[in-house]
Amino acid sequence: MTPVPAGPALRLWRAIGNAGEPLVAALLRRRLARGKEIGARLDERFGHAGMPRPQGRLLWLHAASVGEAVSILPLVERILTAKAGLHVLVTTGTVTSAEVMAQRLPPRAIHQFVPVDVPNAVARFLDHWRPDLALWVESELWPGLLAAVAERGVPVVLVNGRMSERSFRHWRLWPIVIRPMLACFTRVLAQSEADAARFRALGAGDVVAAGNLKLSAPPLAHDEGEMARMRGLIGTRPYWLAASTHAGEEAAAVDAHLALAAAAPELLTLIVPRHPERGQPLAAEFRDRGLYVALRSAGDPLEPETEIYIADTLGELGLWYQLADVVFVGGTLAARGGQNPLEPARLGCAIIVGPDMKNFAEIMAEFRAGAAICQIARAEDLPEAVRDLLLVDSTRRRQLAANARTVVTREEAALDRVLAELAPYLEPLAAPD
């Protein structure tokens, strides 16, 4: 790969990074105080490695957060199975993603926090890890880090590349910034033809629409013993799930619960907040409204009197999807672009979403075409949607779930396509050092 020369925008970015390093350090300490960093691993954010580099070839994958990191797990497993001597480094930037990766990365794969995008931290990181190939996931573009990798002659491939219409409009105003960044990629493997067209229009060179890896992810795991226990506790009660919720959506779920409780006094509403640390204040808020609330992280039992069960734990979303027939997917009423609707679709759920699904625009088009999803326009419509699917029309509920599974199954070949496109870059990694 030919190193990409540093342009004026990159030189300015690096100068700002050098001058602002003390400010970045202060911001990280503030994040630490808010629980958004791990104190024992804070040095990783400054490029100081938390462990030795494995011997031999090293593949580096960078994913921003939980969703992106989970989407590449099947890719990591397939690559490691095919390349016996290879090791994989996965970097992310959030505490939650680090905890999930600690549980789910296979042998010969390790996790580190991505360094902040200032020159000294980036140089320390790359000097230590010396990756042979870098795969960046979806849409997180850090100009200094990306350029530093390319300048060292390391091939960089954007995998599962996503460029929303909103981001596209933004970047069109800043060609002096986006073109040099996209020039760092040896190849771009876009999620869809629409994404590929936007990347090309912004100046990316070798772009292929290889498919969405999130469509190839395996079903979320669950503990069979815990599922049997929870089924026993729930019994015959009507039950629905509000999953990966953001601020305001939990209140909408509780409002829906109260609207339905008169007709279904045994109704149980389970809420899984997107950020588990919000569980305790949510429990206090809903108890103040006179509701009987159980908080999973506190060990509260699920009792016949429990009205709201808040599952503020990590790694259990597969359990709740397995149990639920009707799921509201969060981030769709709170103007966050939507959380992943594919996970409940794989596990046989009838799915309700709000109006904002821009993060999954292409798959939403397929869901709509396949009559595979219930989309509401506003929070006030949630009670009626839940009532219809949970209490009134079981035939429609089962049909929505079956149609969603059909859509997901149709797209599950994306992993094979991505691996085929990566083959020329992965083949040299089989060679000895």
Which residues form the catalytic set?
68
The pair of structure tokens assigned to 367 is 């869901």
Question: Could you give the CA distance from residue 16 to residue 198 in angstroms, rounded to a whole number?
Answer: 29
Residue 380 is classified by DSSP as G
The 187-190 sheet, strands edge to edge: 109-113, 87-92, 58-62, 133-137, 156-161, 187-190, 207-209
CB atoms within 10 A of CB 193: 10
Reduced 3-state DSSP string for 186-246: CEEEECCHHHHHHHHHCCCCCEEECCCHHHCCCCCCCCHHHHHHHHHHHCCCCEEEEEEEC
Give the Cα separation of 92 and 297 in Å (integer).
25
Kindly state the tokens that stand for 9. Answer: 């925008």
**CB-based burial, 19-54: b 16+ in 10 Å, e otherwise:** eebeebbeebeeeeeeeebeeeebebbbbebeeeeb
Nearest to 51 by CA among 128, 103, 126: 128
d(C-alpha 48, C-alpha 221), whole Å: 33
- Torsion angle defined by CA atoms of residues 107, 113, 119 and 124, in that order, rounded to the nearest 10 degrees: -50
DSSP state of 389: I
List, in sequence order, every beta strand (DSSP E) within 43-182.
Answer: 58-62, 87-92, 109-113, 133-137, 156-161
Structure token digits, residue 159: 């995998």
Check: CB of residue 58 under 8 Å from CB of residue 88: yes
Distance CA 242, CA 125 (A): 40
